[in-house]
Copies of this chain bind each other. A is one copy, B any other.
Amino acid sequence: MVAAEAGVTRSTVSRALNAERDVSAATIAHVREVAARMGYVPNRAAKSLASARSMAIALVIPEPGVLALADPHLVAVMAGVSRRIEDSDYLLNLMVAGDSENAKIMRYLTSGVVDGVLVASQHSRHDALLHLHDLVPVVFSGRPTEVTDPPNYFIDVDNARAASVAANHLLSLGRRRIATITGPEDMAAAGDRTDGWRAALVAAGLPADLVGVGDWTALGGAAAMRALLEAHPDIDGVFAANDVMAAAAVSVLLDAGRSVPSDVAVVGFDDSSAALSARVPLTTMSQPSEHTGEQMADLLLRILAGEDVPISTVVESHLVRRASA
């Protein structure tokens, strides 16, 4: 460590640069001055090897790149995480994990380069992530697909309840043939929303038979809507599990000559930017996406600091009325 040319030993330099304690103020100032002048940057690998901490946190998005980043909810979660981590001492590593490189990522996450892991949007096919917490603290956004023995920390809305609220709103509008466009079947949040929608219809004495499986994307949502409409032209209400699919559904409906909301009322989920840029502004279930991200980061930071935190945190969701329903 060349900075020892400041007239002191490496230990002192280390202390001056990090601890701020057990060193005289004068030494601190001097060492820092010299370090700055020499453009010294501590080697992070050596640092974490010696201290057994990396001061880095990984945010894992287990989705093929492009897909994930087209989802405003996920992007907002990322922004929240990023903001909260920024003003901590930790550094954020964003990893968009396509299916292929899952093993690679797992190896990375367990190799000691990160002190904690944040997982957004977990699918059941990525169940390795569920057991990652044996080796490093993990916080999920969205209920994990499986309850593990030491349970996983997570932040989520009450998806089933929120979906029921959405379905009930459509019912209160007098709709009787209410379909749902779901998220991917291997995600807990998606399943919960479908369950909530079904419960509301059943409670109203209606059959819950109109289900189109989507995948959060506009393409998937449009395809589901088209199939639904063709098989059941009498549809008069749609609850889509996110705004992106809802917006796509609105497009399909309009193109098919139906008016929204008079012929078919549509409710989305997320209250994301997609809700406002849809051809008909969407009525939707709000979800504090960015706040969720901040909460995830905050929780992890606290776990890392040794605090005790609750396993699950429920964030609020409520109906936001706009033009589509």
Residues on A facing B (Cβ under 8 Å): 41-46, 48-49, 54, 65-66, 69-70, 72, 75-76, 78-79, 82-83, 86-87, 91-96, 98, 100-101, 104, 107-108, 110-113, 218, 273, 277
Contact = CB atoms under 8 A, between A and B. Distances in A.
A78 B65 contact: yes
A70 B49 CA distance: 37
Contact of A46 (B49, B69, B101): B49
B66 A76 contact: yes
B65 A69 contact: no
A86 B100 contact: yes
Nearest to A82: B65
Interface centre among A65, A87, A91, A108 (most CB of B within 10 A): A65
Contacts of A48: 45
Contact of A44 (B46, B94, B113, B277): B113
Kindly report how many copies of this chain are found in the complex they form together.
2
24 contacts: A41-B107, A42-B111, A43-B49, A44-B112, A44-B113, A45-B49, A45-B113, A65-B78, A65-B79, A66-B76, A69-B78, A70-B72, A78-B96, A82-B96, A82-B98, A83-B98, A86-B98, A86-B104, A87-B100, A91-B108, A94-B94, A94-B95, A113-B113, A218-B277
Q: Which of A78, A93, A277 has the most CB of B within 10 A?
A: A93
Given A93-B93, A111-B43, A66 B70 contact: no
Given A41-B110, A91-B104, 6 more contacts: A45-B46, A49-B49, A66-B79, A92-B95, A113-B113, A218-B277
A83 B112 CA distance: 24
Contacts of A112: 43-45
- A-B interface, 10 closest residue pairs, ranked by CB to CB distance from nearest: A94-B94, A44-B111, A65-B79, A45-B49, A45-B48, A66-B79, A69-B75, A44-B113, A45-B45, A65-B82
